[in-house]
Structures are given as C-alpha cells and as structure tokens.
DNA sequence: GGCGAGATTATGTATAGACATATGGCCCCG
DNA sequence: CGGGGCCATATGTCTATACATAATCTCGCC
C-alpha cells in the first residue's frame, strides 16, 4: 500500500512529513487564537478521516503537542487547548511590561538616557561582535505600581536592527518595541547576584549594599546579535519563579 | 500475543508503561551523570532486545527524550546525550554533583548536619503541608575543585519518602540520593538574591555582605511534597545560564 | 593517496490491528 | 430526586512490518 506522502493532503504546502503537517496545522490554529484555550480539538478519529491516515499518525502529532503543553488530553472526554502557559514565561518573555501587567500591577516606564554611538570595545564585547558598527545605548527604569521594579541597560546593534535608529523610546520600553519589530530565534540568559552600589541603590530606591538580582539577556536572530540587555532587580523583593513537569 | 506489561522487565519497579519505563531509565542515567553529554546511547535495536519489546516502543521513548532536548538523534550515527542544557542542567537537575562534574571540575561534598525531627511550623510551611509528620533536615556544602560552590539546606518529608530515614547522607549528597530513589513529577524554582550574613559568608568563604544567589526548589510527586531545598551560591562568581530557542 | 559510487545501517515515518484504561453519561433502582 | 453501577467511547500503549532517508563506511578506481 502506498504511503501517505504520495496521497493528497488537505492543506499541503511544502511537505514536511504527514504527522508534522498535522501538528503544525493544529499549532497554528492554537497560536492564532482560532482555537482558544478550552476549545475541544477534533477527535483522533475525525482527524484521521480528514487527512486519510492511520490513527497512530494522528496520535504522534497530538502526543507531541501534549508534551509541549499546548494541549491537554483526557480519556473519553477528548483533547483540549490548554490555558495560558503560566510559569517560566518570566525568562522567556523579553517584555517586562507584559510581566508586570500580568501580575495585575500598574506599569510605569521612564527613559533615563538614549544615545547613538559607534560601538566601543566594551559594546562589541557585550554584543559578541567584532567589526565596527553603530549601536543604540539605552538606560531606563520600569516601575510597578509606582515602585521601582527594574533598571535596564541595553545595547541594540543598528546593523541588525536599522529601524531602531528612528524609534524614540520615550513611551514604549525598548524590549516591547523590539519584540514587535524584530523576531528573535535564540536567547541566552545569565542570572547572577550583585550588591547595589550607590547609583544603583538610588535608582531602585533601596539601600546601598542591598542584594540585587541581575539578568543579562542576549538575543540573536539566526546567529546575528540583535541586542544585549542587563536588568537589575531588587534582590530580596523579587523572585524569578519557574515550574517544570518531570515526567 | 501477550502484552509487554505481562513480561519481565530488567529494572521493573512500580509499573508505569513500558515506554515510560525505558524513558525514565535513560533519563535517570543522564541526569545523574552516569551517561555524560556526548555519550552514545544504545541503539534502538539493543534497547528493544534488552526490554524485549518492539522498536516502535523504544522509538516512542527516545522521541520524547529528543523532544525534551535531552538527547540528540543522528541517522546512521546513533543517539547521543546532549551537551549541557544550560538552564535545563541547572534548573531541571536536582543534582549538583552532576552539574559540577559536567563542568569538568572535581566534586566535593561535606555533610554539615543531619537531623530527624517532627515538623515544626516552619518546616510545614516550607514543605507546604498541614498535618503533623516527621522530616529529615540536612545542611551540607558542595565544593568544586576544593572551593565552596553552594550551601544546601534541605527538608525531606518522611511520609513521602520513608526510605530516607535509613539513608545516612555522609557520602552521597541528598539530591543525588533522592534522584536515584524518588522520581519527581513536578518542581518549582524561585530565584532571588541576598547578601551573605556572617555564618553564610564563612561557610562559602566569601566576604560578609557579598551578594549571593538563592535557589529554592520544591519538588512533588503527584501533588505530594517530597522535598524543599534552599541552595545558596556565591553571587558574583556564579551564573545561572539558560538558552532558549525561539521557534 | 585522494575521491566518488555504492553498500550498510540507524533513525524516521507510516500502516493496520489489538487490547488496556479511564471516565462521562445513561439507566435503573431505591 | 439521588446514588450506584454499567456501558460506550476516546485516548493510551503495544505489536509487527514496511519503506524512506541520511550519513557513515568501504571499496575500487584513477
């Protein structure tokens, strides 16, 4: 008997494998909101009829989506789109505004400085690049309910993001702007702790010598550095929380 | 023909399903460092002989591990344990010994105190339980190349892990012991920063008032608390690194 | 020795069928 | 109307087999 790859498929396009196609189709519908959280996905039975494939193939696609926590499967009841992904979104989200508003607190933003300059040695090292180029350097502060929440010190590589030159970051924080304008493919975070020096303490309204949590995030798009940011949080009042499932 | 569940299995215990058993066996060997990054996992062919099951069953286990980025599969070459999973290595691994040895440093361990007691109010709150019960409280230190790496302060719920009562944690750190004896299903981490007080600074061989990174981890097995641990790392010399792919 | 073609092999995808298991719903009984 | 038990059903696991694909290895040719 012929393989599915040689048969017609409802929404064919390139041609990954069949199960991957099914997986992507469903994924797309979930991510675009066409199938909102709680929505019941068609039964395996219906999907296999739709794609004219065996149940194992459908099952493989759905199992992967379940492992990725996009859907939830319940015997006898069916398969459902999962509620929002709680958790380590803190680390995955490059957007502090979203982080604060999901906590139900009022977001505030203050631009402290913004400069356009040729990258110096320190800038190049932070971005992990070698050649000469222009960068934008920004420092700003994020507040939650009027209280300092985090200090941000960011570099943007203008060679990778030319559009940033014409953006003033007076109203929107650079993280949000970048998120909307430049999709990233890879990000690396380093978390460490420091004690606040006098200027940092002043900006965060904490005592000099208090502990701070530092998150340094580097973001790339296809191996090309986009931005490097250093976020300083008051250490004892802020906690990064992440939840994992084991097996 | 009889199902695999009715056949003998090499390292049987409770009895998840066969593929899950295979997955857990491999996972354990990776997380404990028995199979270090780069190690070639037995071929599907060998695993199916070992568990006397069909290739599809082995394949399902390996596919899930691959999706979780714990292993990497290469046609014709075989299946390999992936290189340090930064985040996953640090946050997902409840085993500091494995973390240090993957860094290529010599692991050292010192038990500082071990006590068995009835849980007091603070213990119950840390574990997130209400009723009376016995717990084991442990403090110990992990070293890398002879230098203090982290301080550990741990509570183990004896109701969930009765076997811990008969384990002395003189040679093996409790994290490793638990990993070998109690599979977890969920874990939550909270990361914060503190300044070292005098005893902490002394134990970590750093200056009083230096910044420290604190990781508090709670682990459950099917909604039942197993252990709560607080790890203190020297803050400026230690960085938690996490890398994400964007899609 | 260097190189390309082909054989080999491990994984990747897919099939059809079988039985296991959990559970939402229904029906019946009190 | 409430509760208990049974049944239908959707997912969960597993088998045995087949062919696809990619990469390594080998061998023979120049």
Q: Is B31 helix (H, G, I), strand (E, B) or coil?
A: helix
Question: Which pLDDT score is estimated for A243?
Answer: 65
Closest Cα in chain A, distance from residue B224 (Å): 14
Asked whether residue A103 carries a pLDDT value surpassing 80, the answer given is no
Q: Is B123 helix (H, G, I), strand (E, B) or coil?
A: helix
Q: CB contact, 8 Å: A193 with chain B? A: yes
Question: Which pLDDT score is estimated for B6?
Answer: 35
Distance measured from the CA of protein residue B79 to the C1' of nucleotide C9, in angstroms = 13
Give the number of beta-carbon pairs within 8 Å between A and B: 126
Distance measured from the CA of protein residue A14 to the C1' of nucleotide D22, in angstroms = 19
Q: Is A150 helix (H, G, I), strand (E, B) or coil?
A: strand
Question: Which pLDDT score is estimated for A139?
Answer: 97
What average pLDDT does this structure show over A205-233? 90
Of A11 and B98, more confident: B98
Q: CB contact, 8 Å: A85 with chain B? A: no
Out of A98-112, B105-119, B186-200, least confident range: A98-112
When the candidates are 1.10.10.10, 1.10.3720.10, 2.30.40.10, 1.10.3470.10, the CATH number that belongs to A7-81 is: 1.10.10.10
pLDDT 10s digits, A168-182: 999 889 988 887 787
Of A5 and A130, more confident: A130
What average pLDDT does this structure show over A35-52? 94
Mutate to test the interface with B, among A20, A90, A192 (most CBs of B within 10 A): A192
Residue A61, nucleotide of least CA–C1' distance: C13
Mutate to test the interface with A, among B192, B208, B243 (most CBs of A within 10 A): B192
Out of A33-42, B5-14, B221-230, least confident range: B5-14
- A239/B190 CB distance under 8 A: yes
Which H helix or E strand runs over A105? none
Angle between helices A55-67 and A18-31 (to 10 degrees): 50
Mutate to test the interface with A, among B193, B194, B238 (most CBs of A within 10 A): B193
Radius of gyration of chain B (CA): 20
Question: Which pLDDT score is estimated for B229?
Answer: 95
The set of residues with CB closer than 7 Å to nucleic strand C is: A 1, 3-5, 17-20, 52-57, 60, 74-77; B 3, 5, 41, 43-45, 55-56, 59, 62-63, 66, 73-79
Give Cβ neighbours of residue B245 (< 8 Å, ≥ 6 apart): A185, A186
What average pLDDT does this structure show over B93-112? 86
pLDDT 10s digits, B173-182: 999 999 888 8
Question: Which pLDDT score is estimated for A86?
Answer: 44
Q: CB contact, 8 Å: A32 with chain B? A: no
Tokens encoding A33 = 């909101």
What average pLDDT does this structure show over A92-96? 70
How far CA B149 is from CA of B36, B88, B91, B178, B247, in Å, comes to: 21, 19, 16, 20, 34
Q: Is B230 left (phi over 0), alpha (psi -120 to 50) or beta?
A: beta
Give Cβ neighbours of residue B17 (< 8 Å, ≥ 6 apart): B5
- B241/A188 CB distance under 8 A: yes
- CA dist., res. A236 & res. B69, Å (int): 33
With cut-offs at 50, 70 and 90, classify the pLDDT of residue A102.
low
Going from N- to C-terminal start, the domains of chain A cover 7-81, 89-234
Question: Which pLDDT score is estimated for A136?
Answer: 96
- CA dist., res. A79 & res. B4, Å (int): 27
- Provide, as residue numbers in chain B, all residues whose Cβ is less than 8 Å from the Cβ of A212: 193, 211
- B87/A92 CB distance under 8 A: no
- CA dist., res. B181 & res. A169, Å (int): 53
Q: Which residues pair with B193 in a beta bridge?
A: B213
The CATH number that domain A89-234 falls under is: 3.40.1410.10
What average pLDDT does this structure show over A156-166? 93
Q: CB contact, 8 Å: B247 with chain A? A: yes
Q: Is A169 helix (H, G, I), strand (E, B) or coil?
A: coil
Of A233 and B93, more confident: A233
- CA dist., res. A193 & res. B140, Å (int): 22
Question: Which pLDDT score is estimated for B93?
Answer: 66
Question: Which pLDDT score is estimated for A187?
Answer: 79
Give me the CATH topology for the region B87-234: Chorismate lyase (3.40.1410)
When the candidates are 3.40.50.720, 3.30.1050.10, 2.40.50.250, 1.10.10.10, the CATH number that belongs to B11-83 is: 1.10.10.10
Of A4 and B203, more confident: B203
Q: Is B209 helix (H, G, I), strand (E, B) or coil?
A: coil
Under 8 Å between Cβ of A128 and A212: no
- A243/B188 CB distance under 8 A: yes
- CA dist., res. A178 & res. A180, Å (int): 5
Q: CB contact, 8 Å: B188 with chain A? A: yes
Which H helix or E strand runs over A98? helix A96-102
Of A114 and B189, more confident: A114
């Amino acid at each position: 008997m012929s393989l599915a790859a040689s048969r017609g498929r409802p929404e064919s396009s390139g041609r990954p494998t069949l199960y991957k196609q099914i997986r992507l189709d469903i994924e797309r519908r979930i991510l675009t909101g066409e199938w909102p959280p709680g929505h019941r996905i068609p039964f395996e039975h219906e999907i296999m009829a739709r794609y004219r494939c065996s149940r194992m193939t459908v099952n493989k696609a759905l199992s992967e989506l379940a492992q990725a926590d996009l859907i939830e499967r319940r015997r006898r009841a069916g398969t459902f789109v999962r509620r929002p992904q709680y958790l380590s979104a803190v680390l995955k989200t490059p957007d502090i505004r979203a982080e604060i508003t999901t906590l139900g607190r009022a977001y505030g933003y203050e631009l402290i400085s913004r400069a356009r300059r040729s990258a110096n040695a320190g800038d190049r090292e932070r971005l992990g690049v070698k050649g000469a180029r222009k960068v934008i350097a920004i420092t700003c502060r994020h507040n939650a309910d009027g209280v300092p929440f985090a200090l941000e010190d960011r570099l943007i590589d203008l060679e990778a993001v030319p559009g940033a030159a014409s953006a003033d970051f007076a109203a929107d924080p650079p993280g949000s702007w970048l998120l909307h304008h430049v999709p990233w493919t890879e990000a690396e975070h380093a978390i460490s702790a420091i004690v606040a020096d006098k200027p940092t303490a002043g900006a965060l309204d904490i005592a000099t010598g208090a502990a701070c949590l530092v998150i340094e995030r580097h973001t790339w798009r296809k191996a090309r550095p986009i931005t490097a940011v250093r976020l300083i949080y008051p250490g004892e009042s802020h906690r990064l929380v992440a939840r994992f499932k084991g097996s």
